[in-house]
């Protein structure tokens, strides 16, 4: 299927605003997928909700759900009442807001199958008390087509606006998830913005509305495709300069006031010692894992194929990341480790 995503206007940044939570409104939340990102996001959300709200959490790794609820209960001040759920459906059955943060498209599809089967089996699940419709926010990085399939399944299980599925992939990494400073790229109808934004701003500091459902993922994948290429090109250019005898710090300072400047050259420089805070300066530990970069590149290539967009550099880039990750000295490290794979001087 050809997917043509048109943004009706440039992404609109939504500023942090004062929350107008109506007093004693009973809101039930579900949070599904408590990995590196989801665990921290759920913790921030719970801590910033009033105590008369509930949050039910689920991960197929039961230990993660139990530990999170313990952490939530141990914190000093307030927050929504946390509970461990035994399945995605169990977490979501009474929730008016469901947030998912899962690794791959197949995980998202299977979690929503479970959630929607619970509503189908339970007439009670069809309308919430107060008849507020259910909102499903998927923060996973998946392909826009899979996301639209899940959105369609939600609409057919909960028709007439009783269920809305939106995509809100994020950037900011584990550091941003922990600090509550994530940026969300939102794909959602305008009419839902006032409901979605206050929820996302409890876990992040910026919401960029990119257009209708699916548009958040398109924006995220286009950005990460560019990043994938820039990272390799920066590693190549730095390696080249060093081999020519240039001091890498001098070369980086030239690039960073010239036309080659990009995030990998300025913030995440792949040569150890050039940027003290970059993963390269700590043996490429932490940062954005090479396996996540491979995944995002694969999803971008899939979505490009569906849209009929040529990505001539993508095959080579995918090969570079695949070969780099296959080497023990690069595996599990920040994606800037491509410089090491190229044989760059460290
Ligand atoms: P992760 O692998 O650390 O966590 C995923 C969690 O989902 C795991 O705890 C796993 O047990 C759980 N899970 C898998 N299938 C499940 C199911 N059916 N039901 C319930 N739980 C299930 O992944 P992460 O790093 O937290 O990333 C989550 C998403 O966010 C991914 O799509 C990723 O691409 C995206 N993302 C990650 C980062 C990052 O820096 N880690 C940054 C931006 C976006």
**Contact in structure between 338 and 317 (CB atoms under 8 Å):** no
Please report the pLDDT score of residue 13 as a whole number: 56
Q: CA-to-CA distance for 331 and 311, rounded, in angstroms?
A: 26
What pTM did the predictor assign?
0.90
Please report the pLDDT score of residue 160 as a whole number: 87
* Ligand 1 site-directed mutation target among 40, 99, 102, 144, most atoms within 8 Å of CB: 102
Selected catalytic residue, list 67, 93, 132, 220: 220
What integer is the mean pLDDT of 15-23?
Answer: 46
The encoded tokens of residue 68 equal 């999170």
* Ligand 1 site-directed mutation target among 30, 32, 36, most atoms within 8 Å of CB: 36
**Contact in structure between 252 and 265 (CB atoms under 8 Å):** yes
Please report the pLDDT score of residue 127 as a whole number: 54
Instruction: List, for residues 34-71, the tens digit of each pLDDT value.
Output: 999 999 999 999 999 999 999 999 999 999 999 999 99
Q: CA-to-CA distance for 156 and 126, rounded, in angstroms?
A: 12
Instruction: List, for residues 117-127, the tens digit of each pLDDT value.
Output: 988 765 554 55
Please report the pLDDT score of residue 328 as a whole number: 98
Ligand 1 in contact with 260 (CB < 6 A)? Answer: no
Distance 38 CA to ligand 1 centre (A): 7
Ligand 1 in contact with 183 (CB < 6 A)? Answer: no
What integer is the mean pLDDT of 254-273?
Answer: 97
pLDDT band at 111 (very low <50, low <70, confident <90, very high): very high
Ligand 1 atom with the smallest distance to the CA of 110 is: 18
Instruction: List, for residues 146-158, the tens digit of each pLDDT value.
Output: 999 999 999 999 9
Distance 101 CA to ligand 1 centre (A): 6
Q: CA-to-CA distance for 267 and 274, rounded, in angstroms?
A: 10
Give the residue carrying structure tokens 């939106």. Answer: 166
* Ligand 1 site-directed mutation target among 39, 40, 43, 59, most atoms within 8 Å of CB: 59
pLDDT band at 12 (very low <50, low <70, confident <90, very high): low
Please report the pLDDT score of residue 119 as a whole number: 83
Ligand 1 in contact with 36 (CB < 6 A)? Answer: yes
Ligand 1 in contact with 281 (CB < 6 A)? Answer: no
Ligand 1 atom with the smallest distance to the CA of 35 is: 4
Please report the pLDDT score of residue 11 as a whole number: 56
Q: CA-to-CA distance for 280 and 238, rounded, in angstroms?
A: 13
The encoded tokens of residue 287 equal 């940062």
Number of Cβ atoms within 10 Å of the Cβ of 305: 14
Instruction: List, for residues 279-289, the tens digit of each pLDDT value.
Output: 999 999 999 99
> Does 164 or 129 have the greater pLDDT score?
164
Distance 62 CA to ligand 1 centre (A): 14
Ligand 1 in contact with 286 (CB < 6 A)? Answer: no
Instruction: List, for residues 170-224, the tens digit of each pLDDT value.
Output: 999 888 999 999 999 999 999 999 999 999 999 999 999 999 999 999 999 999 9
**Contact in structure between 224 and 218 (CB atoms under 8 Å):** no
Q: For the chain, what percent of residues have pLDDT higher than 90?
A: 84
Please report the pLDDT score of residue 78 as a whole number: 80
Question: How many CA atoms does the CB half-sphere of 5 hold within 13 Å?
Answer: 25
Ligand 1 in contact with 32 (CB < 6 A)? Answer: yes
Please report the pLDDT score of residue 126 as a whole number: 52
Is 248 a residue whose pLDDT tops 70? yes
Ligand 1 in contact with 293 (CB < 6 A)? Answer: no
The encoded tokens of residue 210 equal 């990119």
* Closest alpha carbon to 35 in 226, 177, 195, 190: 177
Please report the pLDDT score of residue 128 as a whole number: 58
pLDDT band at 75 (very low <50, low <70, confident <90, very high): confident
Nearest CA to ligand 1 atom 5: 35
Is 90 a residue whose pLDDT tops 90? yes
What integer is the mean pLDDT of 249-277?
Answer: 97
Number of Cβ atoms within 10 Å of the Cβ of 29: 24
Ligand 1 in contact with 264 (CB < 6 A)? Answer: no
Establish whether 220 is a catalytic residue. Answer: yes
Please report the pLDDT score of residue 6 as a whole number: 41
Ligand 1 atom with the smallest distance to the CA of 34 is: 9
Instruction: Provide the β-strand partners of residue 185.
Output: 208
Q: CA-to-CA distance for 135 and 92, rounded, in angstroms?
A: 10
The encoded tokens of residue 102 equal 């899962």
Is 344 a residue whose pLDDT tops 60? yes
Is 235 a residue whose pLDDT tops 80? yes
Give the residue carrying structure tokens 């794909």. Answer: 187
What integer is the mean pLDDT of 128-144?
Answer: 85
Ligand 1 in contact with 173 (CB < 6 A)? Answer: yes
**What is the average pLDDT value for the chain, to the nearest integer?**
91
pLDDT band at 5 (very low <50, low <70, confident <90, very high): very low
- How many angstroms separate the Cα of 330 from the Cα of each of 224, 270, 325, 341, 346? 20, 12, 6, 7, 13
């Amino acid at each position: 299927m050809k997917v043509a995503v048109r943004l009706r206007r440039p992404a609109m940044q939504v500023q942090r605003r004062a929350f107008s939570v109506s007093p004693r409104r009973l809101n039930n939340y579900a949070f599904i997928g408590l990995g590196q990102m989801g665990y921290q996001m759920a913790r921030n959300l719970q801590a910033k909700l009033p105590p008369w709200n509930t949050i039910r959490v689920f991960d197929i790794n039961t230990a993660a759900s139990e530990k999170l609820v313990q952490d939530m209960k141990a914190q000093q001040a307030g927050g929504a009442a946390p509970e461990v759920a035994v399945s995605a459906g169990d977490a979501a059955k009474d929730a008016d807001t469901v947030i998912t943060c899962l690794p791959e498209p197949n995980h998202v599809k299977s979690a929503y199958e479970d959630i929607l089967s619970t509503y189908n089996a339970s007439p009670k699940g069809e309308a919430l008390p107060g008849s507020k419709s259910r909102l499903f926010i998927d923060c996973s990085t998946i392909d826009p087509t899979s996301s639209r399939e899940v959105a369609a399944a939600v609409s057919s299980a909960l028709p007439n606006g009783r269920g809305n599925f939106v995509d809100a992939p994020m950037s900011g990494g584990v550091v941003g998830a922990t600090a509550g400073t994530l940026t969300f790229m939102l794909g959602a109808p305008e009419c839902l913005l006032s409901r979605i934004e206050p929820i996302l701003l409890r876990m992040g500091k910026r919401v960029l509305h990119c257009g209708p459902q699916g548009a958040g993922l398109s924006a995220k994948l286009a950005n990460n495709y560019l990043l994938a290429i820039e990272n390799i090109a920066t590693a190549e250019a730095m390696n080249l300069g060093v081999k020519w005898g240039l001091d890498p710090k001098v070369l980086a300072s030239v690039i960073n006031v010239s036309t080659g400047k990009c995030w990998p050259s300025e913030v995440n420089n792949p040569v150890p010692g050039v940027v003290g805070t970059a993963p390269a300066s700590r043996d490429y530990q932490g940062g954005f894992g090479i396996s996540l970069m491979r995944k995002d590149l694969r999803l971008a290539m899939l979505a490009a194929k569906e849209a009929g967009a040529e990505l001539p550099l993508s095959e080579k880039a995918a090969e570079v990341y695949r070969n780099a990750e296959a080497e023990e000295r690069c595996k599990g490290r920040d994606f800037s480790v491509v410089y090491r794979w190229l044989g760059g001087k460290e």
